[in-house]
Chains A and B, each alone.
Chain A
Amino acid sequence: MSKLVDNLCAKISALFLLLLLFAICIAGMLTTLYLYEENYYNLNQFNFYASQSCRQLNREYAVYAFEDYFLYEQAEDKSQWDTYQTAYVHDLLNPETSNFLFDVVNEQKEIVFSTYDENATYGITVACGTYESDGEQFTIIAHIRSPLLPGDDYYQTAYWLEKVFNNRYLILWCSCIGLLLCLALFIFLLTAAGHKRNVSGISLNWQDKIPYDLYLCLAVWLEWMLLRILPYYGGHSLWSTIVGVTLIATAMMSVMAAALLTTATRLKSGVLVRNTIIYRILHFIWFLLRKGARSLGIMFGSLPVTGKWLLTTILLFFANFLLFLGVFHHRNNGLWLFLLLVMYLCILRFGSIITIQMHRLFDYCWRLAQGEGEEQLDVSGMYAPLRRHGENLNNIGKGISAAVESSLKSERLKTELITNVSHDIKTPLTSIINYIDLLKKEPQTSQKTTEYLAVLERQSAKLKKLTEDLIEASKASTGNIKVQLRRTNVNELLQQTIAEYQDRFAAAHLETVISSNQDEIFIPADGRLLWRVIDNLLNNVCKYSLSHTRVYFQVTSLQQKVYISIKNISREPLNISADELMERFVRGDASRNSEGSGLGLSIARSLTELQHGSLHLEIDGDLFKAQLVFDQAANWTEDAATQNLEETLRPPNPQ
């Protein structure tokens, strides 16, 4: 099928076949119509003399017959008329050869003229016309021979009519089938329209390139002209009618077929609307308008913001003024009012869009300031100046998140490095500690050996503590520790902690003084971590306190906050600021001789912050004060805290 669709020969043959078949069908249908008029489909026997064709011929011949009679009446010498041979004006009425013999009867029923032949036989005798001459009426009586003599219209008509009559059903069926065939061919042509061999898609031929509206007008005009000449072909005789109508109908059909085929091609390729003169004109006008608007837009866009605002305000003012003039000075002011309303709605819409976009920008800017600029602002659909501003903000946000990400990454890497290195140090350290221990059990050769071994032991213990603190410090500062906040009794925890340190306090000759403004004070904290915070603080207290002094522990609950403070007197003068003390590897004694890594306070602060608390140090002369501040657990529930915790512990997005 697709091959056939692409085949030009097949299409041309189909088109010719279509027109031919159509012509045949039209002829056949006209014939059928005629046969139906004659009622031939109800008759079994063909009778020419009763047919309309015969009557038509009778009428035509009667006119000639009366003319002959009239000439005869006018003639001076009537003798020559007797012979009938030479004098007849119309040779076709020659009684010798004609099938039409006639009598002319006047008003008194007298035969005034006759070509009647008594020896001949007749199929029908009929009155076929009344004519007036000099106020007298004459009737023509026709006698039609039977059988007909060959040579004239009667014989011809009867001959063909009889053939048609004999094939009347065949003609009917042929017409019907032909019509169906026409339809099929037409559908085929519609499908095939626009397809070309070796060319994919729809290709247009020359007539598809004529503007469609022009083409349609031409086609309609042609059809109209053809329709106009149709009546000239009707009425003369059956055959001329059939042939004429068939020709015109076929011509009309070919015009229509061409129009429909080109319509199909255009529909398929989608150029139906575009290839019209009207469309082209409208398109050109639209193009001009757009170009004008764009150049105006470029001019407007190149103005600075203040200029735009000024121009807009002036234009709006003028528009407003003109519209108000219209409203007050025209009788028909409904239209003006409507225009005014439309203008105000436009201003409202534009203003609200600008406001919304500015609000989004402000909102994003605020989030950026809060450090939440990970996601980008969607600037599509914003007005140009605002969009540029939004893009700038986006770039700032990108820069910030890149910086945060890289710092997070480096911090993570640092923690990983510290953990791994500490781990690798631990294994040889185990051997060192164990073999020092073993050496100590061996017989000592000299006093010096014992001394050196003691140094080794002390230093290896220090190294051990240092590696452990290092890991803890790096974990605590990066939040790489599980935190489970629970309602924790501060007084209970403090007592437990002090109990752990009782022996060391006693050894350092320190007295503890504990006071609390309430019996039970609860804070949301992870007991294990809080113990390590206080552990680190008390470790310092033991190391650096002046002996025979008191250490004060105070728990105060005040305005939803809980303050835990530990105060002690330093043995050495503290010539260092509280902030410096908090830094890693910084220690109270400049000589660094005492045990400890210098990480204790840093660990304590990191762990406190992981529990949403804060650690403050205060130095007042020799008085050293460490204060922990937590929220009170009065309105605090564990569920909410767990949720918060999950949020804080969630790893930062890789984005």
Chain B
Amino acid sequence: MENIAVSVKNVTMKFNMSKEKVDNIKEYIVKLLKRQLMYTEFTALDDISFDVKKGEVFGIVGLNGSGKSTTLKIVSGILKPTKGSVQVFGTISPLIELGAGFDHDLTARENIFLNGYVLGYSKDYIKEKFDSIVEFSELEEFLDVPIKNFSSGMIARLGFAIATVVRPDILIVDEILSVGDYKFQEKCEKRIADMMAGGTTVIIVSHSIEQIQRLCDRVLWLEKGKMKELGEAEYVCGKYKNQ
């Protein structure tokens, strides 16, 4: 057990897909009386099981709507599965949406602290790492500017710098390597490569199958919420490309 970082067992995720959203008492009672209170269930994930070993780079591929992002959200604790269980051993740093938790009226300096707190860092820790965050994001001149005046690339840079300043046990990456210019992308990839070298477990979702093949040890292929393949990167990626 001790060399496992994430263990997902028989996870099923269902959403209620009602045609109209019933979100008030009045409508609820009207629909109840008319006996129209029916929900169509949508199964986003169907009986998914996999283990990610410590230090492994694990990729998830699949078309849009296959359940990749839902899987990541369940692993990082944002969603609770309808059935099944998820166990995570170690600290987790989700790079799902960069800059989630930024307040656009506050300055970059204030946002570094706010976003750090959102990720569960302590005040002293952020103070200690403040300079390296600023240096990595290359935003020294704009520290006291409210980030509503930032470009989306600048916001992404700041978000990436904050989220990766820790060396988490598990890093979750969702399509974020496509932000910023090529120079910054290289910088991001290098930082992730450094983490991998340092023994961090990484779970990556990407549409770029080349990137997955290059980076990952093992790959899970999802199709319409079901597991299609799970195995060595070469093998699964080869099959995925030839489908």
Bound pair (A, B): no
Residues of A within 8 A of B (CB): none
